[in-house]
Amino acid sequence: MNLRPTGFRIALLLIASFALAAPTGPRAEFMPWEEAAPIVASSAADALPQDIAGKKPQQLMDMWPDWVREQDKQVRERLAKGDEDSLVNLLLFGTSFTRQPRLAAEFFEKLRAGGDSDKMQAELQRAIAGRAHDMVVAMAAPQRNERIAFMRRLVVAKGFGFSTPQEKQKTALFLVQEFDRARAEFTGYRDEIRKAQAGGDQAQEMAVRARLFATRGVSLDTSWRPNMAIEDALRDLLAKGVLTRSSAQRLAVVGPGLDFVDKSEGYDFYPLQTIQPFALMDSALRLGLADREHVRVTSLDISERVNQHLARMRQRGAEGKPYNIQMLRETNVPWTAEAKKYWDSFADQIAKPAVAVQPPSNAGKLKTRAVRVPADLVLRVDAADLNAVYERLTLPASERYDVIIGTNIFVYYGPFEQSLVLANAAQMLRPGGVLLSNNLLPDTPSSGMESLGYVTTVYSERAEDGDQIFIYRKKR
C-alpha cells in the first residue's frame, strides 16, 4: 500500500485544514448604542432589564458597550444550563445505554390516566431510577457513544465520579434530581400557559408563549418539524408576492442547533446531526426561491458545539465527503397528510437516499429514512459565531440575506432582547428581505422591520402540535 500522499491528496488536506481553521464568514459586531437607543426609549419600563430601567440617556450611553458584552457572556453561560436539560432528555428518551423502555409521551399519558396516584408516582420513580442506574453504568465504562461521553464530561465537571459504588450512587441520585428539577420547571411553564388561557385573551397567551423560556438554560435541541412550518410560510410569501422566484438565494439560520436528544420525543441511536441549514436550502429549491448553482446558507449560532460540528462537516465536505441526515417519525402519531408528505420528501431537492440507521427495539414504532447531501452543497453552508440578540454581521449590501429564520430560539429571551433581534436582523437583511420565527416578536417600529402576520402549520392531530410562523419584513 502506498502511504505517501499524492499532490492531490496534499491539496485536499490543505483545503480541509484551512476550512477548519479559517473563519467561514464575516465577523460579528455588537449592536452600537445609537441603534439601541430608540428601542430603549420606546420600550415599556417593565419590559426593560432591571439594570437599564430608569437610567438617564447619558448613563445608558456610557454603560452600553460593557453592558452588551456582559449580556452576551451571560447568554453563553446559559448554554451550560441547557446541556443539563439535554441530560434529562437523554435520561428519559435514550436507548443507546439501556434496554428499558423510553419514558416518552405515551408513558406520561398512562401516568396521567392513572390519576397521578401514589402508585403511578412510585412507578415513575422506579423507572427513572432504573434508567439513571443504566446511564451511570454506561458513563463509567469506556465507550464510543458521543452523547454519553459528553454527559460524562458534564457530570464530572460538576464534581461527580464513577470510581466507587458510592460515587456511582451519588451520580445516579444527581440524575434523578435533575429529572425532578426539569419536571418542576415544565409544570411551571404549563401552569403559566394555562393561566394565560384562562384569561381568555389570545394576544396575552401568545405573549406568554413568546417568552416562556426567558430564564431557562439555552438548549441545542432540534427536530425536522419546525422546518415544515418554515416551508409553509415561504410558500405563503411566494403566493402573496412578498418573495418571488429566484429571490432568496442568500439564506441564514439563527441557531440551527444539534439533534442531540430533542425535548419532545428525542432519539439517540444515530450520530449527532444538524438539520435546519439543509432543510431551508431544500425548501428554497423546492419552491423555486433559489437554485442549486447559487444557493448559500449561513448558520449564526452562539454554541461552540454547533459551530464545531459545522466546521467538521465543512472539513469533510472539502475532502469530498457528503453529510448524512437521519429522518424518523413515530408511526403511532396521527400526523397530518401534509406532515407525512413533507417528511417523505425532505431533502429530495438537495440529497440522495442513504442507508438509515436501524432503531433498537425499545425505541418504539418508528419510520426511518436517511439522505446524503453531496459535498458541493455541504460547502454552501458556512457558519459564524454570532449572538443574534446583541450582535450582527456587518455585511456589504450585496451580501445581505434574503431570508433569515430562527425557530425555538427567541423564546429564550424577554421582550427587550427580542426587539434587539429585530434590529440586528434588519442590519443583515436586504430591503424587502424577511425574518421568519415561530415566536411572536414585539412590535418595534424603530427596528426597521414590519410585521406581515403569521402562517399556521399543524403537524399532527395531537393537541397543540403545530407552529405559527411570524413574518417580519425589512422596510424598503
Among 283, 303, 326, 424, binds ligand SAM (CB under 6 A): 303
Least spacing, CB of residue 382 vs ligand SAM, in Å:
15
- Based on the shown chain and the rule CB under 6 A, indicate whether residue 94 belongs to the binding site for ligand SAM: no
User: Considering the complex, what minimum distance in angstroms separates the CB of residue 329 from ligand SAM?
Assistant: 15
Under rule CB under 6 A, residue 75 binds ligand SAM: yes
Q: Which of 92, 132, 218, 237 binds ligand SAM (CB under 6 A)?
A: 218
CB of 122 to ligand SAM, least distance (A): 33
Q: What is the CA radius of gyration of the chain?
A: 23
What lies within 8 Å, CB to CB, of 312 at 6+ separation is 20
Distance, CA of 15 to CA of 21 (rounded, Å): 10
How near is the Cβ of 417 to ligand SAM at its closest, in Å?
A: 8
Stretch that binds ligand SAM, among 87-95, 171-179, 218-226, 340-348 (CB under 6 A): 218-226
Task: State how far the Cα of 404 lies from the Cα of 300, in Å rounded to an integer.
Answer: 10
List 86, 89, 98, 276, residue binding ligand SAM (CB under 6 A): 276
Among 388, 393, 404, 434, binds ligand SAM (CB under 6 A): 388
Q: Which range of residues in 33-41, 113-121, 187-195, 294-302 is near ligand SAM by CB under 6 A?
A: 294-302
CB 304 within 8 A of CB 150: no
Assess 301 for contact with ligand SAM (CB under 6 A).
yes
> Beta partners for 404?
252, 435
> How would you label 137-154 residue by residue, b for 16+ Cβ within 10 Å and e otherwise?
ebbbeeeebebbebbbeb
Helices of type H across 292-386: 304-318, 337-345, 375-378
Residue 389 makes contact with ligand SAM by CB under 6 A? yes
CB atoms within 10 A of CB 106: 14
User: Is residue 374 a contact partner of residue 289, using CB atoms and an 8 Å limit?
Assistant: no
Q: Which is nearer to ligand SAM, 220 or 351 (CB)?
A: 220
Nearest-angstrom CA–CA distance, 377 and 318: 11
Q: Which stretch binds ligand SAM (CB under 6 A): 33-41, 138-146, 278-286, 403-411?
A: 403-411
83 lies in the binding site for ligand SAM (CB under 6 A): no
| Cell numbers found for residue 423 | 434590529
Annotate each residue in 221-260 with x if it binds ligand SAM (CB under 6 A) or - if it does not, as one string.
xxx--x---------------------------xxxx---
Q: Which stretch binds ligand SAM (CB under 6 A): 85-93, 192-200, 212-220, 340-348?
A: 212-220
Give the nearest distance from C-beta 67 to ligand SAM in angstroms.
16
Amino acid (one-letter) located at 325:
I
Shortest separation between residue 273's beta carbon and ligand SAM, angstroms: 12
Give yes or no for a contact between 373 and 278, defined as CB atoms under 8 angstroms apart.
Answer: yes
Here the cell at position 14 is 490543505
369, exposed or middle or buried, with CB in 10 Å at 0-12, 13-18, 19+? middle
Helix (H, G, I), strand (E, B) or coil at 393: strand
CB of 14 to ligand SAM, least distance (A): 30
CA count, 13 A, side-chain hemisphere, 138: 22
- Specify the residue, 388 or 449, whose C-beta has the smaller distance to ligand SAM: 388
User: What's the min distance (Å) between Cβ of 470 and ligand SAM?
Assistant: 14
Which residue ranges make up the site for ligand SAM (CB under 6 A)? 75, 218-223, 226, 254-257, 276, 300-303, 306, 386-389, 407-409, 412
